[in-house]
Amino acid sequence: MRQFPWPHPIIAREGWPFLAMAVLAAMLADAWLGSFLGGMLWIVAIFVLQFFRDPPRVGSADPDDVLSPADGRIVAIELCEDPYADRPALKISVFMNVFNVHSNRTPLAGRVEQVNYFSGRFFNAALDKASLENERNAVVIRDAQGRLVTAVQIAGLIARRILCYVQPGDELDRAARYGFIRFGSRVDLYLPPDSRPQVTVGQVVKATSTVLARLEPRGA
């Protein structure tokens, strides 16, 4: 296990405008509308603060370990087709509720081969149909051994904004912060089909800290 470099503050930069508005609204309510409404808005501000937390993490440095790209709960582990890289794959899906950290981190080091955004609907992200019908952004990464991993950010029932900060040709480190999804969502990983899952459906996982699967070394 190692501590990965973390160049961002403990509160995600995406959250500062929302936090500032929530705190300002609570202060004005305290001054002009009374303590009850002010107290309710302070509760909202505390919720915003916890939603946009972005803590540093430690995780495996083994290049064969696929790190979780998000906090949440495993809702699917299945063999299927990767529709973004056109290949058979093992899919592992992580569902994030509004109390999870929503900063997304890269599952392994590698070069970005594709970044594709798809508009779509906003079903509950815990449902299977969300994978291919909801608004989503797919990032295909090839590691130093030529193994492909596709990470798909998926909007949820409440989420309306997927943020992705990488583009084709970028070289990514393990656990690098590459995106953010606001207010409840899901991340699907499509791995080589011979990958070995290290988690089970229903398990709670942490971004970077949890190993989702082991990749088979190329040529093994």
| Number of independent structural domains in the chain | 2
**120-169 residue pLDDT tens:** 777 766 677 777 878 899 999 999 999 999 999 998 776 567 899 999 99
Residues 108 and 156 in one domain: yes
Digit-coded pLDDT (tens) for 53-67:
888 888 999 999 999
| Domain membership flag for residue 2 | no
Residue numbers of the domain that contains 170: 61-214
- Is the domain of 21 the same as that of 100? no
Residues 46 and 79 in one domain: no
Same domain, 210 and 102: yes
Residue 8 lies in a domain: no
Task: Examine residue 43 and state whether it is found in any structural domain, yes or no.
Answer: yes
Across the chain, which has 220 residues, the per-10-residue mean pLDDT values are 62 85 89 82 88 87 96 96 96 92 94 93 72 89 97 80 93 93 86 98 96 87
84 and 19, same structural domain?
A: no
Shared domain check, 109 and 20: no
Residues 179 and 101 in one domain: yes
Does the residue 18 lie in any domain? yes
What is the pLDDT, as a whole number, of residue 51? 82
Please check whether residues 68 and 170 belong to one and the same domain: yes
65 and 43, same structural domain?
no
Q: Which of 103, 131, 185, 195 is catalytic?
A: 185
- Is 185 among the catalytic positions? yes
SS3 for the chain, per residue? CEECCCCCCCECHHHHHHHHHHHHHHHHHHHHCCHHHHHHHHHHHHHHHHHCECCCCEECCCCCEEECCCCEEEEEEEEEEECCCCEEEEEEEEEECCCCCCEEECCCCEEEEEEEEECCECCCCCCCCHHHHECEEEEEEECCCCCEEEEEEEECCCCCCEEECCCCCCEECCCCEEEEECCCEEEEEEECCCCEECCCCCCEECCCCCEEEECCCCCC
